[in-house]
């Protein structure tokens, strides 16, 4: 800023000269201030992000095997305690519903973001999906949003990929029969992902409260996987003949699977935070596995596991990294109730964003053009 030297009256020129000098200095100061302000405003880069719709993501055609590998890598980071991920808080605006916030940072991959996801089982009445939401992927260096994307596909594939990783380490080597209870999105995706890691899978028994849903599932999945899929109404018989049992129901008022139906060597997967399983099944298996024990305890404090929490064998990340064993005998009955972790969503979302940038997929949107707010 230029210094204005004005002497005392009568010492350095006339009053007019002094006023003129003062005026010119003020004008100079104004110009400099204006340039400084413009520089401050223009110094900030325009902030934008890539919007990815469900269809954008589907068009990327990321292989299921790649999704499983990504999720296994995220679980390994969790096993090494290299993640920041608070238990997911939520609001529950109607009975049996939720809207959850799921933030996470994977330190080794250095990716972060948050998923805002809702689950409303009665949405079929409005011709809307049960699960919906958005995921924001952030730049871990600046915090700026990189992408905002649909999270319905992300949720479907990461949930089923966690089941696949669990089966990789905990299913019997000769597992060939799977029972799926619930013929919806998760029932379908879990079967597809399990086929990726259970090479001897030969038959799937599917049950659903809606007969047409059972039949449609059998038709679609048998064609996609080229294996036998049998719709059943008697779930007891199906479960007793299965090496893998997966419940992918909505929130149930009463459990449906007791311990007496589980044969030696079975591997069980509950996607409803315990609600489909009788307490004797959860407490009576040989090993209980979950993806995150703190989140499991948090869910228990909010009504899950009404008969009490089982003894934890190990977190899935600990099994993946070799800190805890997976299956150790052909007769062990193992149950996995994986609550679902934000790190899984963020890891998959980072790959989605990477692929979208490579292929030029998505819509570029502006968050702000300049820093000035007024």
Task: Provide the edge-to-edge strand list for the sheet that holds 228-231.
Answer: 228-231, 203-207, 177-181, 244-247, 267-270, 334-336, 287-290, 314-315
Round to the nearest angstrom and report the end-to-end CA distance of the chain.
25
The helix/strand/coil state of 163 is helix
**233 near 208, Cβ under 8 Å?**
no
Q: Backbone phi, then psi, for 286, in 5-degree steps?
A: -75, -35
The helix/strand/coil state of 314 is strand
- The yes-or-no answer on residue 216 being catalytic is no
Residue 90: CB atoms within 10 Å: 17
Cα distances (angstroms) measured from residue 195 to each of 175, 192, 203, 289, 298: 11, 5, 10, 21, 32
10 Å CB burial of residue 149 (0-12, 13-18, 19+) is: buried
Alpha helices (runs of H) in the chain, residue ranges in sequence order: 15-43, 54-60, 64-79, 152-170, 185-197, 211-225, 235-240, 279-284, 293-300, 316-320, 342-359
Rounded to whole angstroms, how far apart are CA atoms 349 and 80? 21
Cβ partners under 8 Å of residue 94, min gap 6? 120, 122
Residue 67: CB atoms within 10 Å: 24
10 Å CB burial of residue 198 (0-12, 13-18, 19+) is: buried
Residue in the structure block whose two tokens are 């009404």? 306
Residue from 18, 88, 115, 324 carrying the catalytic annotation: 115
Nearest CA-CA partner of 83 in 126, 140, 12, 41: 140
**Annotated catalytic sites, by residue?**
115
């Amino acid at each position: 800023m230029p210094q204005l030297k004005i002497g005392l009256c009568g010492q350095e020129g006339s009053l007019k000269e002094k006023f003129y000098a003062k005026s010119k200095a003020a004008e100079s100061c104004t110009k400099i201030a204006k340039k400084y302000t413009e520089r401050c405003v223009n110094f900030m880069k325009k902030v934008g992000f890539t919007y990815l719709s469900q269809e954008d993501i589907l068009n990327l055609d990321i292989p299921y095997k790649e999704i499983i590998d990504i999720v296994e890598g995220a679980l390994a980071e969790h096993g090494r305690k290299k993640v920041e991920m608070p238990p997911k808080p939520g609001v529950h605006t109607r009975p049996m519903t939720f809207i959850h916030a799921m933030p996470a940072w994977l330190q080794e991959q250095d990716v972060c973001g948050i998923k805002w996801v809702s689950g409303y089982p009665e949405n079929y009445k409005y011709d809307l999906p049960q699960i919906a939401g958005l995921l924001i992927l952030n730049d871990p260096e600046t915090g700026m949003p990189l992408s905002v994307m649909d999270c319905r596909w992300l949720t479907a594939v990461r949930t089923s990929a966690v089941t696949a990783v669990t089966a990789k380490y905990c299913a019997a080597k000769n597992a060939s029969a799977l029972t799926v209870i619930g013929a919806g999105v998760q029932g379908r995706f879990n079967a597809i992902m399990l086929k990726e890691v259970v090479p001897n899978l030969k038959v799937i028994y599917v049950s659903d409260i809606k007969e047409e849903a059972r039949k449609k599932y059998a038709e679609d999945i048998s064609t996609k996987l080229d294996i036998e899929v049998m719709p059943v109404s008697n779930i007891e018989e199906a479960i007793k003949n299965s090496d893998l049992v997966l419940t992918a129901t909505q929130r149930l008022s009463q459990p449906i699977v007791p311990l007496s139906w589980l044969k030696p060597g079975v591997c069980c997967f509950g996607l409803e935070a315990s609600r489909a399983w009788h307490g004797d099944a959860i407490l009576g298996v040989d090993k209980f596995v979950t993806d995150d024990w703190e989140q499991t305890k948090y869910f228990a404090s909010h009504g899950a596991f009404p008969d009490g929490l089982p003894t934890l064998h190990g977190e899935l990340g600990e099994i993946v990294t070799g800190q805890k064993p997976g299956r150790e005998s052909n007769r062990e009955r193992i149950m996995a109730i994986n609550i679902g972790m934000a790190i899984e969503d963020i890891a998959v979302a980072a790959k989605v964003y990477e692929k979208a940038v490579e292929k030029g997929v998505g819509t570029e949107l502006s968050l702000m053009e300049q820093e000035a707010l007024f």
